[in-house]
Chains A and B, each alone.
Chain A
């Protein structure tokens, strides 16, 4: 009875986590919390849909959608990066709201409000274990886990990863130590854009293919990042999965169903309060 909800929650949660990892890689390297992340994913999904409608091979269409999101992210990083480097975290985040609004406006201009679906070939292949599970859903789960593992391994063991981590702890110091700050930042914009593109396509197949809806899906993604305390990739993965599952299971019962959409906020608030609690304690100790 509750199994379908858990499965759906895990799938959606893994996509929140996937997006969260993309946001986190960028944030940790450049300090930019990208509110335009949902819009990047939406562009990727809408373009993929358009290419499929133009009778292109679906796989190529998805690839082009992801390339487009990557390119947009890279271009924004290229143009706005130098200016963003000198301003506060809050100003950086606000600047990305501009990116979100511009992309959303362009999408609403380019596509009318008719019904669209992005039908992945793997949607129709599935099996039943008390509930129906499609290959797309398995891909979502596997991809999210794989990308988290790959990213954390990369950050830990590759020279660029070390440079990224160095940037995250002290930008000026790492610059003096010879880290190519600009190059590493642009790499972060690129990787983040690509993950955003993949997330957008998978989310649109699991939820709704609409520019506005996908643009605002940045909220649960952000909540997953909050659970990861803006630091931990694994925390983000767990955060995304918890938000997804709680949201889906809450929707299963009439008494909690109408509150299920508040899950990202509830989970994020609880985590923030928990972290504050520790801070309060430390202040008390300091006194």
Chain B
């Protein structure tokens, strides 16, 4: 009996081997929108750009990111780390290197609170840069406020990340991203009947949906349907039926990338794309998305909260080259990575103004709060920190569409018309934070 099993196993193994040797590989036809940088490691313009390795007393900087638990936002702190490494190889902060590390909150708000309390209590930590926590902005901010610690956050997603005193994200957030899609439709005269799709998550999906509704109401746009689904939903037929029945001319999807891809696959299976303009928020703007959803979705539109990854421009080029020189080759080159990089760059530029002998949490916090009118080709409009209980400096974004499986630029910057930004705009004006 056992001989039969052994013979069977042998046959299976040799069969598999035969298949492997016979298999010709499919030709690589998909281009990637992920071009690398062109600057040599020795030519990189990081910090002082002196080319000398900083050897002074290290400056300790931390960050909290959600890297595991089903969501991976670590591409922001990875880019932050890459830029700081580059700064340290180029004179550091007037001779002092930055000692940077980030911790994973594993999608657990209790852990975020613990990590935040740990940072706040550790006086050696002068500031936080490139954070990207998916869940813990509210609990973290409470700890930071107690310790007078400030975070120059790379990526924020839920509402709490944009309504905190000690947290200021570089990205625009899903609400601005969704509203700007609506504004794009308005510009193109396609905003006749808009259907919106999102998540029924508190402090996130509901906040985004409210943003679309508020903007639509203020501007006389007809929202013909709203579907906020459970994050575990997998049956998209009812949704497709509702979209058909609603007579929608455009559909805005504000779901995470994987869910958006599943919805689009279901629409393709039903061949229900029709003449509808389909678009999604920045969560699906990444190099891989186009090839994943396939040729059926040529012309699919997405918002991008920062410069398109393959665009020209000094900072975008520096980002790509720094990533090539200092980050792992498999570290994502996406919007979040750009955000982490830009957070590190703004932080470095602010600290270079300080007396290197007097770098404490107090002086660093003042320097961070003092960042105003910071221009970069990664941004549409200048970024600032400023003292406030809400931070959403990035509220102007770009739109891209899929051409030959790759996202390419569709429109230049659109300034957000979110009615809820009123107080932020007033604050910008009165405090002179931009321009």
A: residues with CB less than 8 A from B are: 4-5, 8, 12, 55-58, 60, 63-64, 67, 108-109, 112-117, 119, 123-124, 126, 131-132, 134, 180, 183, 186-187, 207-210, 212-213, 216, 247-248, 251-252, 257, 260-261
The verdict on A55 contacting B26 (CB below 8 Å), with A60-B19, A119-B294, A207-B262 known, is yes
Indicate if the CB atoms of A5 and B237 lie closer than 8 Å.
Answer: yes
Indicate if the CB atoms of A183 and B5 lie closer than 8 Å.
Answer: yes
Residues of B within 8 A of A257 (CB): 238
Select one of A60, A64, A132, A210 contacting B271, CB under 8 A: A132
Indicate if the CB atoms of B70 and A252 lie closer than 8 Å.
Answer: no
Indicate if the CB atoms of B233 and A261 lie closer than 8 Å.
Answer: yes
Residues of B within 8 A of A260 (CB): 235
Indicate if the CB atoms of B16 and A112 lie closer than 8 Å.
Answer: no
Q: How far is the CB of A22 from chain B (nearest CB, A)?
A: 18
Indicate if the CB atoms of B292 and A116 lie closer than 8 Å.
Answer: yes
Of all chain B residues, the one with the shortest Cβ separation from A217 is: B234
Task: Count residues of chain B with CB under 8 A from any CB of chain A.
Answer: 46
B28 touches A (CB below 8 Å)? yes
Of all chain B residues, the one with the shortest Cβ separation from A116 is: B292
**3 nearest interchain CB pairs?**
A115-B261, A115-B257, A207-B234
Residues of A within 8 A of B121 (CB): none
Q: List 25 A-B contacts (CB under 8 A).
A: A4-B241, A55-B27, A60-B19, A60-B23, A112-B332, A113-B70, A113-B72, A114-B286, A114-B332, A115-B258, A115-B286, A115-B288, A115-B293, A116-B261, A116-B292, A131-B270, A134-B269, A180-B2, A186-B5, A208-B262, A209-B262, A247-B235, A251-B235, A261-B232, A261-B233
Residues of A within 8 A of B241 (CB): 4, 252
Indicate if the CB atoms of B332 and A213 lie closer than 8 Å.
Answer: no
Q: How far is the CB of B250 from chain A (nearest CB, A)?
A: 21
Residues of A within 8 A of B271 (CB): 126, 132
Indicate if the CB atoms of B237 and A115 lie closer than 8 Å.
Answer: no
Indicate if the CB atoms of B265 and A117 lie closer than 8 Å.
Answer: yes
B201 touches A (CB below 8 Å)? no
Residues of A within 8 A of B256 (CB): 113
Indicate if the CB atoms of B235 and A117 lie closer than 8 Å.
Answer: no
Select one of B19, B26, B68 contacting A63, CB under 8 A: B19
Alpha-carbon gap, A126 to B268, bound state (A): 11
Of all chain B residues, the one with the shortest Cβ separation from A205 is: B265
Residues of B within 8 A of A67 (CB): 16
Residues of A within 8 A of B289 (CB): 114-115
Alpha-carbon gap, A75 to B150, bound state (A): 50
Task: Give B224-281 interface residues, CB cut-off 8 Å to A.
Answer: 230, 232-235, 237-238, 241, 256-262, 265, 268-271
Indicate if the CB atoms of A57 and B261 lie closer than 8 Å.
Answer: no
Residues of A within 8 A of B262 (CB): 117, 207-209
Indicate if the CB atoms of A60 and B20 lie closer than 8 Å.
Answer: yes
B: residues with CB less than 8 A from A are: 1-2, 5, 16, 19-20, 23-28, 68-72, 230, 232-235, 237-238, 241, 256-262, 265, 268-271, 284, 286, 288-289, 292-294, 296, 332
Alpha-carbon gap, A152 to B26, bound state (A): 39
The verdict on A123 contacting B257 (CB below 8 Å), with A4-B237, A60-B19, A117-B293 known, is no
Indicate if the CB atoms of A117 and B261 lie closer than 8 Å.
Answer: yes
Select one of B26, B232, B268, B270 contacting A57, CB under 8 A: B26
Indicate if the CB atoms of A261 and B230 lie closer than 8 Å.
Answer: yes
* Most chain B CB neighbours (cut-off 10 Å) among A60, A114, A248, A257: A114
Alpha-carbon gap, A186 to B4, bound state (A): 13
The verdict on A251 contacting B292 (CB below 8 Å), with A57-B24, A113-B258, A123-B269 known, is no
Indicate if the CB atoms of A132 and B270 lie closer than 8 Å.
Answer: yes
Residues of B within 8 A of A210 (CB): 258
* Most chain B CB neighbours (cut-off 10 Å) among A5, A210, A252: A210
Indicate if the CB atoms of B25 and A116 lie closer than 8 Å.
Answer: no
Indicate if the CB atoms of A57 and B23 lie closer than 8 Å.
Answer: yes
Residues of A within 8 A of B265 (CB): 117, 119, 123
Indicate if the CB atoms of A55 and B25 lie closer than 8 Å.
Answer: yes
Alpha-carbon gap, A132 to B270, bound state (A): 6
Alpha-carbon gap, A115 to B300, bound state (A): 15
Alpha-carbon gap, A68 to B24, bound state (A): 21
Alpha-carbon gap, A113 to B259, bound state (A): 11
Alpha-carbon gap, A55 to B23, bound state (A): 11
Alpha-carbon gap, A58 to B293, bound state (A): 16
Q: How far is the CB of A138 from chain B (nearest CB, A)?
A: 13
Q: How far is the CB of A46 from chain B (nearest CB, A)?
A: 12
Q: How far is the CB of B233 from chain A (nearest CB, A)?
A: 7
Of all chain B residues, the one with the shortest Cβ separation from A163 is: B1
Q: How far is the CB of A123 from chain B (nearest CB, A)?
A: 7
Alpha-carbon gap, A183 to B9, bound state (A): 13
Residues of A within 8 A of B72 (CB): 112-113
Q: How far is the CB of B407 from chain A (nearest CB, A)?
A: 13
Indicate if the CB atoms of B261 and A56 lie closer than 8 Å.
Answer: no
- Starting from the known contacts A113-B71, A115-B258, A115-B260, 18 additional A-B residue pairs (CB-CB under 8 Å) come to A4-B270, A5-B237, A57-B25, A58-B26, A112-B332, A113-B70, A115-B257, A115-B284, A115-B292, A115-B293, A116-B261, A126-B271, A207-B235, A207-B262, A208-B262, A210-B258, A247-B235, A251-B235
